A and B are shown apart, each in its own frame.
Chain A
Amino acid sequence: MTVAANNTRLNSDVGANNNDLSSIGGGAGAESTDDPAAFFYQGSGIIYRKVTATGASGGGFTYTHPSTTDMTAAATRTMMCKINVTDFGGLNTANGLRLRIGDGSYRDYVLAGTDGKINALQKYPAKGGFIIMPIDPNITAYYDTNGGPTLSAIDEFSAVARFASASAKAENLGLDIIDLGTGLTITGTSVALIDFVDTDEGTLANRWGYATLLADGVFQAFGTWVFGTATAVTMTDTTRVSIIFPDGLFQAGWSGLDFDLQNASTDITLTNKDWKGLGTTAVEDTRPVLLVTGTDGSLTLNNSVFTNYASMTFTSGVVFDGNTILESEAITQAGATITNNICSGNVNANAEALFTIDDLSLFTKNYVEGDGTGYMADLGTISSSGTISWDNTFNTSNFAAVDGSTGNEVILVNYTDTGADLVISVAAGASTPTIHNTGAGTVDVQAGLITLAVTVLDDSTGLPITDARVHLHKSGTPATVYINKETNVSGVASEDIAYDADTDIVGWARQMDVSGTDYTPKDFGGEYTSAGFSITIRLEPIT
Chain B
Amino acid sequence: MGCPYCNGDTFENAATQESETQWINKCKGCGKYSMYDEATDEQTALDEPRKSNG
Q: 13 extra interchain contacts, Cβ-Cβ under 8 A, other than A23-B12, A23-B25, A25-B2?
A: A22-B10, A22-B28, A23-B13, A24-B9, A25-B36, A26-B15, A26-B35, A27-B23, A27-B36, A29-B11, A29-B15, A52-B38, A57-B9
> From residue B20, how far is it (CB to closest CB) to chain A in Å?
10
Query: Which of these, A21, A50, A55, A61, contacts B1 with CB under 8 Å?
Result: A55
> From residue B40, how far is it (CB to closest CB) to chain A in Å?
9
- Bound CA span A59–B13, Å: 12
- Bound CA span A286–B51, Å: 50
Q: How many residues of B contact A (CB 8 A)?
A: 20
Instruction: Please tell me if the beta carbons of B14 and A26 are within 8 angstroms of each other in the complex.
Output: no
- Bound CA span A18–B54, Å: 13
Indicate if A177 sits at the interface (CB-CB under 8 A): no
CB contacts (< 8 Å) of A27 on chain B: these are 15, 23, 25, 36, 38
A30-64 interface code vs B (CB 8 A; 1 in, 0 out) = 10000000000000000000101111010101100
- Bound CA span A100–B13, Å: 17
CB contacts (< 8 Å) of A542 on chain B: these are none
> From residue A175, how far is it (CB to closest CB) to chain B in Å?
14
B29-44 interface code vs A (CB 8 A; 1 in, 0 out) = 0000011101001010
- Bound CA span A24–B43, Å: 12
Instruction: Please tell me if the beta carbons of B17 and A28 are within 8 angstroms of each other in the complex.
Output: yes
- Bound CA span A22–B2, Å: 14
Given A25-B1, A26-B43, A27-B25: A62 and B15 within 8 A (CB)? no
- A53 nearest in chain B by CB position: B41
Given A52-B38, A52-B41: A23 and B11 within 8 A (CB)? yes
Instruction: Please tell me if the beta carbons of A26 and B12 are within 8 angstroms of each other in the complex.
Output: no
Instruction: Please tell me if the beta carbons of B1 and A53 are within 8 angstroms of each other in the complex.
Output: yes
- Among B2, B9, B10, B28, residue most surrounded by chain A Cβ atoms (within 10 Å): B9
A429-443 interface code vs B (CB 8 A; 1 in, 0 out) = 000000000000000
- Bound CA span A62–B8, Å: 14
Given A22-B28, A26-B36: A57 and B1 within 8 A (CB)? yes
- Bound CA span A324–B13, Å: 55
Instruction: Please tell me if the beta carbons of B13 and A26 are within 8 angstroms of each other in the complex.
Output: no
Given A21-B13, A57-B1: A26 and B28 within 8 A (CB)? no
> From residue A104, how far is it (CB to closest CB) to chain B in Å?
10
Binding site for B on A (CB under 8 A): 18, 21-30, 50, 52-55, 57, 59, 61-62
Closest 7 CB pairs of A and B: A26-B36, A29-B13, A21-B13, A23-B11, A26-B25, A26-B43, A55-B1
- B7 nearest in chain A by CB position: A57
- Give how many A-B residue pairs fall within 8 Å (CB-CB): 60
Q: List 27 A-B contacts (CB under 8 A).
A: A22-B11, A22-B12, A22-B13, A22-B28, A23-B11, A23-B12, A23-B13, A23-B15, A23-B25, A24-B10, A24-B11, A25-B1, A25-B9, A25-B43, A26-B15, A26-B23, A26-B36, A26-B43, A28-B23, A29-B13, A52-B41, A53-B1, A53-B41, A55-B1, A55-B41, A57-B9, A59-B1
Given A26-B25, A27-B15, A57-B2: A62 and B10 within 8 A (CB)? yes
CB contacts (< 8 Å) of A54 on chain B: these are 41
- Bound CA span A94–B15, Å: 29
> From residue A12, how far is it (CB to closest CB) to chain B in Å?
20
- B1 nearest in chain A by CB position: A55
CB contacts (< 8 Å) of B15 on chain A: these are 23, 26-29
- Bound CA span A524–B2, Å: 103
- Bound CA span A307–B1, Å: 46
CB contacts (< 8 Å) of B36 on chain A: these are 25-27
- Bound CA span A29–B41, Å: 15
Instruction: Please tell me if the beta carbons of A26 and B34 are within 8 angstroms of each other in the complex.
Output: yes
> From residue B30, how far is it (CB to closest CB) to chain A in Å?
14
CB contacts (< 8 Å) of B28 on chain A: these are 22
- A158 nearest in chain B by CB position: B10
Query: Which of these, A52, A57, A61, contacts B13 with CB under 8 Å?
Result: A61
- Among B13, B15, B23, B36, residue most surrounded by chain A Cβ atoms (within 10 Å): B13
Instruction: Please tell me if the beta carbons of A25 and B11 are within 8 angstroms of each other in the complex.
Output: yes
CB contacts (< 8 Å) of B13 on chain A: these are 18, 21-23, 29-30, 61
- Bound CA span A25–B25, Å: 9
CB contacts (< 8 Å) of B35 on chain A: these are 26
Instruction: Please tell me if the beta carbons of A29 and B38 are within 8 angstroms of each other in the complex.
Output: no
- Among A26, A53, A62, residue most surrounded by chain B Cβ atoms (within 10 Å): A26
CB contacts (< 8 Å) of B14 on chain A: these are 29
- Bound CA span A55–B36, Å: 13
CB contacts (< 8 Å) of B17 on chain A: these are 28
- A31 nearest in chain B by CB position: B13
- Bound CA span A50–B43, Å: 16
CB contacts (< 8 Å) of A59 on chain B: these are 1
> From residue A43, how far is it (CB to closest CB) to chain B in Å?
21
CB contacts (< 8 Å) of A29 on chain B: these are 11-15, 54
- Bound CA span A50–B38, Å: 10
- Bound CA span A27–B41, Å: 9
- Bound CA span A55–B43, Å: 11
> From residue A102, how far is it (CB to closest CB) to chain B in Å?
11
CB contacts (< 8 Å) of B23 on chain A: these are 26-28
